Amino acid sequence: MANIDYRTKTIRDGLTAEELFQGDGLTYNDVIILPGFIDFGASDVHVSGQFTKKIRLHIPIVASPMDTVTESEMARTMALMGGIGVLHNNCTVQSQVQMVRSVKLFRNGFIMKPKSVSPDTPISVIQDINSEKGISGILVTEDGRHDGKLLGIVCSKDIDFVKDVSLPVSQFMTRRENMTVERHPIRLEEAMDVLNRSRHGYLPVLNDKGEVMCLCSRRDAVRARVFPNSSLDRNGHLLCAAATSTREEDKARVKALAGAGVDVLVLDSSQGNTTYQISFIKWVKKTFPHLEVVAGNVVTQDQAKNLIDAGADAIRIGMGSGSICITQEVLACGRPQATAVYKVSRYAASRGVPCMADGGLRNVGDICKCLALGANTAMLGSMLAGTSETPGRYFFKDGLRLKTYRGMGSLEAMSQGKESGKRYLSEKESVQVAQGVSGTVLDKGSVTRLLAYIHKGLQQSAQDIGEISFDAVRKKMYEGQVLFNRRSPIAQMEGEVHSLHSYEKKLFTSKL
């Protein structure tokens, strides 16, 4: 028998993505990416991703249009951090339009609607504002409006030792003639320079009539330096996306959103391959050609083809894979998410249309997998739920600080607004079948810390794969050079924490 030198015997380590997805439907935990060769630092990795045909995000993360996840505060913060938020539509048209304006009118480092009072406001009211809202500098205008003629400013230090709190604020305010002000418009860098030279904490920006246009505070200006990679439109305003249903009456909503300056429309449907959505895409692209349209949700190539043919600028992938979604359980329809992402993204890439993975993302590893399997961006719901920027108040139960998180197919969401029912094509049904649940999530702190953690995790993942960007990862994946293994249930257990009596799992530390 001839001697065989096994040191020179080459056996391929893993499977290509095409080979991996030939059989059963797989989800993220069924898959592991094999490492490559590293010749660069993690900080050199670019994680940006194409959100739509025309919009690229510095961090490929999108906040889901859920009424317990994304309203104006979340959308602003997401855009500041380099992602984007999709404002939910389970509300009136007027409410959603106001949220869009709040995002589009926001200027990093500037307060566009500063808290203001009239000169006869008693000190007791000022103290209440200080304690309840944490606002230490309040403008005094002729009529008490935020855009009124400026008379002065009152800071908390001005009234710390006032005994008679019924006295008017006009007796204690710093008057206009003793303040440093600037004319509108002014760039943030210029405002910061003025604040530095004046040693003041606030800089009102006025028009030619002396009316307030905005307010720059020293604290906010310093904070603005933290966001160098914000998602901005061509005019320097934050990017904003908004969800809408696809019925005939929703055309009025789209017109109002377009008038408010929205950049992207996300057509919100659990099953997007419908005559409603196809017709709606064609109408939007004809009526508002400047608006980008994200269509979906889909999980098959045939579904994606119909929406791309109609003019979609991006495809949203996922059906029944979210943590609060029970569509697959109740309706027996959907697809395992990893398989859906690979199959749909591969087809869409051949058409030059970016894809967004929506659902089933529990951690940074899952985000890395969806990006490696073809998705250009990842939409997050449960991972962002519980952060301080989400709607709603915290409450305590069993000593834990919690927030409500619910699926848009839950009975609670559908009972609050008919738009949620439209998403599941059931708004007119006498009996509504729930496709989601309502629950609670733990307090996660600010989303700024969470996104910084996700960004660093994505960089380190691409580094381990051996590529300088996820664009490069996807290119090598389609070429069969990024390899995968399918994980058995025991292999999945091995990849998690095991064999310990007890442990504490902290995902990251941050100085933000």
DSSP string across 469-511? BHHHHHHHHHTT-S-EEEPPHHHHHHTSS-S-S----------
Q: Is the peptide bond preceding residue 114 cis, with omega within 30 degrees of 0?
A: no
Kindly report, residue by residue over 457-495, the tens digit of the pLDDT: 999 999 999 999 999 999 999 999 999 999 999 988 888
DSSP track, 208-260: TTSBEEEEEEHHHHHHHTT-TT--B-TTSPBP-EEEE--STTHHHHHHHHHHH
State mean pLDDT over 235-256. Answer: 94
Cβ neighbors of 512 (< 8 A, separation 6 or more) are 226, 446, 448, 449, 452
Cβ neighbors of 197 (< 8 A, separation 6 or more) are none
Q: Which amino acid is at 105?
A: L
As a whole number of angstroms, the distance between CA 243 and CA 88 comes to 5
Q: Which CATH class is domain 19-107+230-493?
A: alpha beta
User: Token pair for residue 372?
Assistant: 């490696």
273, 274, 251: which is closest to 265 by C-alpha?
251
β strands within 52-149, DSSP E: 56-57, 61-63, 84-87, 110-111, 116-117, 137-141
| CA triple 438-443-447, angle to 5 deg | 100
- Of the ranges 67-71, 153-157, 198-202, 478-482, which one carries the lowest mean pLDDT score? 198-202
State mean pLDDT over 168-183. Answer: 94
State mean pLDDT over 157-178. Answer: 93
State mean pLDDT over 37-44. Answer: 96
Mean pLDDT of all residues belonging to the chain? 89
Kindly report, residue by residue over 396-425, the tens digit of the pLDDT: 888 888 888 776 665 665 666 555 555 445
Binding residues: 268-270, 318-320, 322-323, 325, 358-360, 381-382, 405-409, 435
Share of the chain above pLDDT 70, in %: 88
As a whole number of angstroms, the distance between CA 453 and CA 457 comes to 6
- The predicted pLDDT at position 315 comes to 99
Q: What is the helix, strand, coil percentage profile of the chain, to 5?
A: 35, 20, 45
Binding residues for K(+): 320, 322, 325
Q: For the beta carbon of residue 489, count every other beta carbon within 10 angstroms.
A: 9
Burial-class residue 177 by CB neighbours within 10 Å (0-12, 13-18, 19+).
exposed
Contact 195, 203 (CB under 8 A): yes
Contact 10, 4 (CB under 8 A): no
Contact 174, 152 (CB under 8 A): yes
Question: Against a cut of 0.75, is the pTM above it?
Answer: yes
Give me the CATH topology for the region 110-223. CBS-domain (3.10.580)
- The predicted pLDDT at position 512 comes to 47
Q: For the beta carbon of residue 163, count every other beta carbon within 10 angstroms.
A: 6
Binding residues for IMP: 323, 358-360, 381-382, 405-409, 435
Strand-strand pairing, 292-298 and 182-183: unpaired
Q: In what order do the strands lie in the sheet with 116-117?
A: 116-117, 137-141, 150-155, 174-175
State mean pLDDT over 149-169. Answer: 93
Q: Point out the residues that are catalytic.
A: 325, 423
- Whether residue 262 is predicted with pLDDT greater than 70 in this model: the reply is yes
In this prediction, residue 83 has a pLDDT band, given cuts at 50, 70 and 90, of very high
As a whole number of angstroms, the distance between CA 313 and CA 173 comes to 53
As a whole number of angstroms, the distance between CA 18 and CA 14 comes to 12
Binding residues for NAD(+): 268-270, 318-320
Contact 439, 68 (CB under 8 A): no
Kindly report, residue by residue over 215-243, the tens digit of the pLDDT: 998 876 776 667 889 999 988 789 999 99
pLDDT higher for 454 or 506?
A: 454
User: Would you kindly state where each structural domain of the chain is located, as residue ranges?
Assistant: 19-107+230-493, 110-223
- Whether residue 323 is predicted with pLDDT greater than 80 in this model: the reply is no
Q: Which amino acid is at 250?
A: D
- Whether residue 2 is predicted with pLDDT greater than 90 in this model: the reply is no
In this prediction, residue 112 has a pLDDT band, given cuts at 50, 70 and 90, of confident
State mean pLDDT over 1-17. Answer: 74
